[in-house]
Copies of this chain bind each other. A is one copy, B any other.
Amino acid sequence: MDNTAGKRPTVKDVARLAGVSQGTVSNALSGMRGVDPETRQRIDQAIATLGYVPNLAARRMRTGLTNTIAVMTSMPAAVSAGSSRLGFLMEIAASAAIHALDYNSALVLVPPVADPAVALRHVAMDGAIVIEPQRDDAFLSLLKHRGVPVVVIGEPPASHPSGGDLPWVDLHYTRTAELLLSHLLEQGARRIALILGTSSRASQSTTEVIYQAWMLLRGIPPCVIRVPETEGEEGAYQATRYLLTNNPDVDAIFVPVDAFATGAMRALRDEGRTVPDDVRVVTRYDGLRAREERPALTAIDLHLDQVAALATRLLMDLIAGKEIQQVTEGPLPSLVARGSSQD
């Protein structure tokens, strides 16, 4: 018969064994239409004896739904993952995977690689969570072209051709910058430098705007250095040494990108500056790097697990065709003060 060899039983086999048609089996499975309780029982019985498991590919082809969402970011791996591959992306992915399950969906991890088109070529999804996209983000363009629903974590870049209509979960860039700057000022810092990446992300531009405004207001000459994200920790190291040579009176450095912060700390050590006594350092993402550094880095708890849960729910609503608001307030960030900025 059919179930002798390695062939998996199909709905056809179940139907035959239960003495009904394929359609009825399908209805019993999905519960979409009424099925007589007695018939349903026979079908369940047949499914059990045959060990039937639905062929997901066939179901997906027919329905057009994949029951899959993806998480991705265009941030280069040098920054977003780092040597131990942890961080931002993974923290969000873990939370999203758990919450996707509530919607009978799996989560696929799209790794940050050079060519987004390659990364997406073999991934089918009902929707995507895109983390902190940059201007002209390749992932956003590809997803838009495919018509995939998208929820952004962090503010989408205003000028992206995909339109400013993407829903997003606010990561509170303004409040984050203010928390860190006010903390530094409270701790007595007066010459605060800012080290940013060169990519065009809302997080960076917002941070710079706030920084410039605060410095202007307090009569502090601003000092902003930009380092390409691809150069990672080493790039920040070089930049910081350069900064310390040219601006020896700097007494605080604001380094939002944690990979850069690690480089900055190393540069400070090599330049013989003591943290926090000579120079105070703060960063944004409170991950492995921030906590492992000595002294440990003051950072921001972004509550990424809650953010990811929120984004997942929004995405599911969007996929289901519900109306969702364009901007959703995520949990408010909170300061995690550590040894790098206070005595």
Partner-B contacts on A (CB < 8 A): 6, 8, 51, 53, 55-58, 60-61, 64, 66-68, 77, 81, 84-86, 89-91, 93-95, 97-98, 101, 104-111, 113, 118-119, 121-124, 145-147, 287-288, 291-292, 296, 304-305
Q: Complex Cα distance A108/B145, Å? A: 23
Report yes or no: A108 in contact with B111, Cβ–Cβ below 8 A: no
Q: Give the residue name and chain of the B residue nearest to A113 (CB).
A: B101
Given A84-B304, A107-B109, 12 additional A-B pairs, CB 8 A: A51-B145, A57-B66, A68-B108, A85-B95, A85-B304, A85-B305, A86-B94, A106-B110, A106-B122, A106-B123, A108-B109, A288-B288
Report yes or no: B66 in contact with A94, Cβ–Cβ below 8 A: no
Please, which residues of chain B bring their CB within 8 A of the CB of A84? 91, 304-305
Q: How far is the CB of A62 from chain B (nearest CB, A)?
A: 8
Query: Provided the pairs A51-B145, A108-B68, A124-B57 are in contact, do residues A101 and B81 lie with their beta carbons within 8 angstroms?
Result: no
Q: List 7 A-B contacts (CB under 8 A).
A: A55-B61, A57-B57, A60-B60, A97-B111, A106-B123, A108-B109, A291-B292
Report yes or no: B86 in contact with A90, Cβ–Cβ below 8 A: yes
Report yes or no: B85 in contact with A109, Cβ–Cβ below 8 A: no
Q: Complex Cα distance A57/B60, Å? A: 6
Please, which residues of chain B bring their CB within 8 A of the CB of A64? 57
Q: How far is the CB of A175 from chain B (nearest CB, A)?
A: 20
Q: Give the residue name and chain of the B residue nearest to A61 (CB).
A: B57
Please, which residues of chain B bring their CB within 8 A of the CB of A146? 53
Please, which residues of chain B bring their CB within 8 A of the CB of A305? 84-85
Please, which residues of chain B bring their CB within 8 A of the CB of A292? 291-292, 296
Query: Provided the pairs A145-B51, A288-B291 are in contact, do residues A97 and B110 lie with their beta carbons within 8 angstroms?
Result: yes
Leading 9 A-B pairs by shortest Cβ distance: A85-B94, A57-B60, A57-B61, A56-B124, A90-B90, A97-B111, A291-B292, A97-B109, A67-B122
Report yes or no: A91 in contact with B85, Cβ–Cβ below 8 A: yes
Report yes or no: A122 in contact with B288, Cβ–Cβ below 8 A: no
Q: Give the residue name and chain of the B residue nearest to A112 (CB).
A: B98
Most buried by B among A66, A67, A85, A101: A85
Q: Give the residue name and chain of the B residue nearest to A105 (CB).
A: B122
Please, which residues of chain B bring their CB within 8 A of the CB of A109? 93-94, 97, 106-109
Q: How far is the CB of A120 from chain B (nearest CB, A)?
A: 9
Q: Give the residue name and chain of the B residue nearest to A142 (CB).
A: B53
Query: Provided the pairs A110-B106, A288-B291 are in contact, do residues A58 and B56 lie with their beta carbons within 8 angstroms?
Result: no
Q: How far is the CB of A97 from chain B (nearest CB, A)?
A: 4
Q: Complex Cα distance A13/B124, Å? A: 21
Please, which residues of chain B bring their CB within 8 A of the CB of A66? 57
Q: Complex Cα distance A137/B137, Å? A: 42
Neighbour of A108 across the interface among B81, B107, B119, B287, CB < 8 A: B107
Please, which residues of chain B bring their CB within 8 A of the CB of A51? 145
Q: Complex Cα distance A110/B118, Å? A: 23
Report yes or no: A101 in contact with B118, Cβ–Cβ below 8 A: yes
Q: Complex Cα distance A110/B107, Å? A: 7
Please, which residues of chain B bring their CB within 8 A of the CB of A68? 108, 122
Q: Complex Cα distance A123/B98, Å? A: 14
Report yes or no: A122 in contact with B86, Cβ–Cβ below 8 A: no
Q: Complex Cα distance A122/B145, Å? A: 26
